[in-house]
Structure 1
Amino acid sequence: MKAKTLFKWIYEQVLHYNVFMLEENDYDDDHDIIDPIVALKYQKYKTWLYITLRTVCFYVLLYVILIKMEPKTIAVSNITPDLFAKLHAQYGRTLSCPCKTTTIPYKNFLTHNVTVHPVCSSDFVERAWIEGLYLENASHYGGCDFRTTAYSQFKLLSEFCSLSNEMIAQIQTDIANTDIISIELGSEMEIRKAVDGFIKSKRHTVSDQMISFLNYLRTTIQGYFLVTALGTNLILGLGTPDYVKLRMYETPVTLFDAEGLRRTCAIESPMIPAALPRVPSELICTYDRSTMTLMSDSTVVQGFFAGCTPLESLLASRLDCLYNSQCIQLLFDYFPDLNRVRRISFFDLILLFFI
Structure 2
Amino acid sequence: MPPSIFFTVVPLIERIRAAWRRIQINALQLNLFKTGKTRTDALELRVGIISTRIYIILLCLFFTVLIIFNGLRTQLQNVSIQNPSQIIFEDLQKSYPITLQCPCSEIAISFDSFLSLSPTYHPVCSSPYVSFGWINSIVGTVNLNFSYSYTDFHMVGEAFFSSIATLCSLAQSTISDDLYIFNQTTLITGSAVSYAELMAHADAALNQFKLNTLAEFKRALSLIQLHTDVMFSTTRGNADLYTSQLISNITQVDRIDFHSVPTIYGNCSCALSGYCQQQVDMYSNGNESTYEIKFPIPNVFIGCFVIQSVLQSTLECFFNETCLNAVQAEISSVQSINVSVLDANSTRFSPETLIGTLIDALMVERWGETIQYSQYYATCAPKLCTYTFTAPNNALYILTTVVGLVGGLAVILKFIVSLIYDLIRYKMQSRITIINRAGTFY
On the 8 A contact 1:143/1:308 being kept in 2, the answer is: no
Equivalents in 1 of 2:162, 2:108: separation in Å? 44
Partner residue of 1:316?
A: 312
Whether the 8 Å contact between 1:140 and 1:148 is mirrored in structure 2 is no
What displacement does 1:193 show? 1.5
Code of the aligned partner of 1:123: P
2:152 to 128, 145, 149: 145
Q: Could you tell me how far apart the structure 2 residues matched to 1:323 and 1:92 are?
A: 52
1:180 aligned to 2:173?
A: no
Q: C-alpha deviations, 1:149-184, integer Å up to 9, x for none?
A: 210111121122122222232244334333333220
Residue 253 (structure 1) shift: 1.2
Q: Distance in 1 between matches of 2:342 and 2:311?
A: 27
Relative distance call for 1:182 and 1:124 in structure 2 (3 A) is same
Q: Does 1:166 find its partner at 2:176?
A: no
The reply to whether residue 306 of structure 1 matches residue 311 of structure 2 is: no
User: Per the alignment, do residues 212 and 270 of structure 1 end up closer, same or farther by CA in structure 2, a change over 3 Å counting?
Assistant: same
Could you say which residue in structure 1 is the equivalent of 2:261? Answer: 251
2:204 maps to 1:197: yes
- Give the partner amino acid of 1:253: T
In structure 1, how many angstroms separate the alpha carbons of the residues matched to 2:104 and 2:145?
66
Shift of 1:247: 6.6
Instruction: Map 1:18-37; keep pairs closer than 5 Å.
Output: none
Q: 1:165 to 1:138 in 2, by over 3 A?
A: farther
| Equivalent residue, structure 1, for 2:335 | 340
Shift in Å, 1:185: 0.4
Q: What runs of 5+ residues in structure 1 fail to find an aligned partner? A: 1-66, 257-261, 285-294
Equivalent residue number for residue 283 of structure 1: 289
Asked if 2 retains the 8 angstrom alpha-carbon contact of 1:122 and 1:352, the reply is: no
Relative to the length of structure 2, the TM-score reads 0.52
Is residue 2:331 matched to residue 1:325?
no
How far did residue 279 of structure 1 move?
6.2
- Whichever residue aligns with residue 332 of structure 1, its letter is Q
Tell me the residue number matched to 2:114: 109
C-alpha separation in 1, matches of 2:344 and 2:131 = 13
* Structure 2 unmatched runs, 5+: 1-71, 246-254, 347-442
* Match in the other structure for 2:57: none
Q: Distance in 2 between matches of 1:188 and 1:107?
A: 16
Contact 1:138 / 1:149 at 8 angstroms: preserved in 2? Answer: no
CA contact (8 A) 2:170 2:217 kept: no
Deviations 1:193-246 (A, max 9, x none): 212222222221121122123234435555x4x321321111123469xxxx99
Task: Map residues 219-230 of structure 1 onto 2, 5 A cutoff.
Answer: 219=226, 221-222=228-229, 224=230, 226-230=231-235
The structure having more radius of gyration, on CA atoms, is: 2
Q: Secondary structure at the match of 1:164?
A: helix
Paired-residue identity, % = 21
Residue 138 of structure 2: aligned partner: 133
Q: Alpha-carbon deviation of 1:123?
A: 0.9
The answer to whether the 8 Å contact 2:319/2:342 transfers is no
How many residues are paired up?
265
1-side partners of 2:287 and 2:326: how far apart? 18
User: Aligned residue for 1:155?
Assistant: 162
Structure scoring higher RCO (CA < 8 A, sep ≥ 6) equals 2
* Bigger fraction of residues in strand: 2
The match for 2:411 is none
- State the secondary structure of the residue aligned to 1:202: helix
Cα distance, 1:221–1:106 mapped onto 2, change above 3 Å: closer
Partner amino acid for 2:161?
F
Q: Distance in 2 between matches of 1:98 and 1:281?
A: 79
Moved more, 324-333 or 123-132: 324-333
Distance (whole Å) between structure 2 residues aligned to residue 82 and residue 138 of structure 1: 76
Q: Distance in 2 between matches of 1:321 and 1:138?
A: 29
The 2-side partners of 1:231 and 1:333 are apart by 25
The 1:180/1:329 distance shift into structure 2, 3 A limit, reads same
**What's the CA shift for 1:87?**
2.7
RMSD over aligned Cα, in angstroms? 3.5
